[in-house]
A and B are shown apart, each in its own frame.
Chain A
């Protein structure tokens, strides 16, 4: 019984990380109807940033959040202005392959600048574990989970109770009507894309005490993020939360009860099944898949 409890707790905590990695992706899709295929590579930049801030300045990764979030927000603005903005309402070929080109460039830039080495943070933070009753909890995982919860809550409040947030939601519901109400879609899109990347800056700081970083680290996380957001419904924030936790649980349970090497197989199969049986996800608005096809 204890082991099941332990697995459930670990699974939910891991799920928190997946939520954090995924909400930017789902937010950008919800508003702009584009799938950011370079999502994982921006996360990789966030992780490298946090790593080097610690390495050179000794900055605690949890403090680095305040550097990396604005840095990636700024990067997001630049990338939107130069590339992403030009893909809006164009054919899927342009939308998908502009991001794939960007992904190739970013991965190889990291390879040139940082080499292919795996780098892990070497601090006491990494291995700190405490015990609650029969359950062991890793400090880094718990911290990531708590911050992910706070961020998600803040994002939800922002989207529902601020003017900008409401404008973002209205643009996601009907871009034409939003324009008629005097909302500049370009500004909203730029802000949303930058916000999505800013969230990845935070995610990078929280992940670096847990995972090592290398130029292609983003690929695995991007795949997980795709699974999470499609499971929850692309564009749905509560869906990303539920999807993230669900994938965390699936991964933890299947690696214990089946085999560690099979955990990915299990969640990819879940992914394919969801795509086939319910392409709008568990929480997605009906028709999200069709909107993307246009």
Chain B
């Protein structure tokens, strides 16, 4: 990773003053938040917005470990699946509210993340990625074979019983606001990390572990904290997904495709930034929808070929991600013009 990237992820944030630009940003966000109310009837559009918020949430959670920490996990589906299964098993078998389930899932996944983080401390680059792939595969095999607990490869259907206690709603718009509320957690956390000791330490460990150690930063502690936060948040996404979609399946929840998709969203948008993963999630979700509707086909097919090739191009041409690239582009233009 280059020095420029450090620069990009360690901006000096001044005390915010209310300017026209800030006002417009705020108005834009408010408009986006109100959009689903207008679109109530358009289930398809609301569904797309929910997916954007959910994947933005999960990609932001990944970004804490993968982006800020530089540990390129390709097994985050493991945590997503743990969250989905924990809350669903509690809900379906024991009638425990998913609100408690989502916390239970986060705790279980956090402990699991702590364990995985602890045993993989020595691994870097592709070796870390390979290990995380294997961990998710192991969980998938367990979920498929532990019939009494997980119903095997068929998965567990979540009965639709609308009600605030059950985290299930007749109105899709409610799901959207719930997803946005979730999304606010890792987004706020990332904003905070951009100007806090913890964030600087994590980036420091990513850029040069030896130098960070020499400065007295405990790389072990920092990496483990990042791992726990990231895995707990990812698990919460799993619970939300289960309550929204209405089924948990091992072949999706623990799949490599899901892990890769989570990481790709963050990378395309811009790793190590607060907004990047959300932008990436929006872009990839919308791209998937547009390509599907123009090129046809359900799952897979021509649209996925285009999608795969686009990923290759983006990774090769703008490896820092679209958001940092765009910011630098705008900064350059600003410097160029007189009215800076």
The reply on A252 being an interface residue by CB < 8 A is no
Contact flag A102-B312 (CB < 8 Å), given A96-B126, A108-B300, A292-B126: yes
Which residue numbers of B lie inside 8 Å of A, CB to CB?
Answer: 1-2, 72, 74, 119-120, 122-127, 129-131, 133-135, 137-138, 141-142, 144-145, 256, 260, 263-264, 267, 271, 297, 300-302, 304-305, 307-312, 315-316, 319
A-side contacts of B256, CB under 8 Å: 219
Does A94 touch B at the CB level, under 8 Å? yes
Q: Cβ of A275 and Cβ of B131 under 8 Å apart?
A: yes
What B residues does A105 contact at CB under 8 A? Answer: 304-305, 307-309, 311-312
CB proximity to B under 8 Å, residues A247-294: 261-262, 264-265, 268-269, 271-272, 275-276, 279, 289-290, 292-294
Least Cβ distance of A40 to chain B in Å?
A: 11
9 residue pairs A–B, Cβ–Cβ below 8 Å: A83-B312, A90-B319, A98-B316, A104-B304, A106-B308, A226-B134, A262-B145, A290-B124, A292-B124
B141 pairs with A264, CB closer than 8 A: yes
Kindly provide the distance from the CB of A283 to the nearest chain B CB, expressed in whole angstroms: 16
- B312 adjacent to A108 (CB under 8 Å): no
A100 touching B264 by the CB < 8 A rule?
A: yes
Total A-B Cβ pairs within 8 A: 145
Interface residue A35 (Cβ < 8 Å from any Cβ of B): yes
Give the contacting residue for A102; candidates B122, B126, B297, B308; CB below 8 A.
Answer: B308
Instruction: Please determine whether B315 and A101 come into contact, CB atoms closer than 8 angstroms.
Output: yes
Q: Is the CB of A93 within 8 A of B131?
A: no
Q: Are A276 and B119 in contact (CB under 8 A)?
A: yes
Task: Give the docked Cα–Cα distance between A95 and B74 (Å).
Answer: 13
Chain A interface, number of residues (Cβ within 8 angstroms): 49
Nearest A-chain residue to B145, judged by Cβ:
A261
**Complex alpha-carbon distance, A109 and B125, angstroms:** 29
B131 to chain A: which residues have CB within 8 Å? 272, 275-276
Q: Does A63 contact B (CB under 8 A)?
A: no
A91, B130: Cβ atoms closer than 8 Å: no
Residues in B with CB closer than 8 Å to A100 are: 74, 260, 264, 311
- CA–CA, A294 and B297, complex, Å: 41
Q: Which residues of A contact B119 (CB under 8 A)?
A: 272, 276
Whether A268 lies near B134 (C-beta < 8 A) is yes
Closest to B303 in A: A108
Inter-subunit contact A97/B267 (CB<8 Å) = yes
User: Given A264-B137, A275-B134, is A292 in contact with B125 using a C-beta cutoff of 8 Å?
Assistant: yes
How far apart are B62's CB and chain A's nearest CB, in angstroms? Answer: 13
CA distance A276 to B134 in the complex (A): 12
Binary interface encoding of chain A residues 93-126 relative to chain B, with 1 for a CB under 8 A from any of its CBs, else 0: 1111110111111111101100010000000000
Is the pair B1, A91 in contact by a Cβ cutoff of 8 Å?
yes
Cβ of B144: which chain A residues have Cβ within 8 Å of it? 261
Residues in A with CB closer than 8 Å to B316 are 83, 86-87, 94, 98
Starting from the known contacts A108-B301, A279-B127, 19 additional A-B residue pairs (CB-CB under 8 Å) come to A35-B126, A86-B316, A92-B129, A93-B271, A101-B310, A104-B308, A105-B312, A226-B130, A262-B141, A269-B138, A272-B135, A275-B123, A275-B131, A276-B123, A289-B123, A289-B127, A290-B124, A292-B126, A294-B125
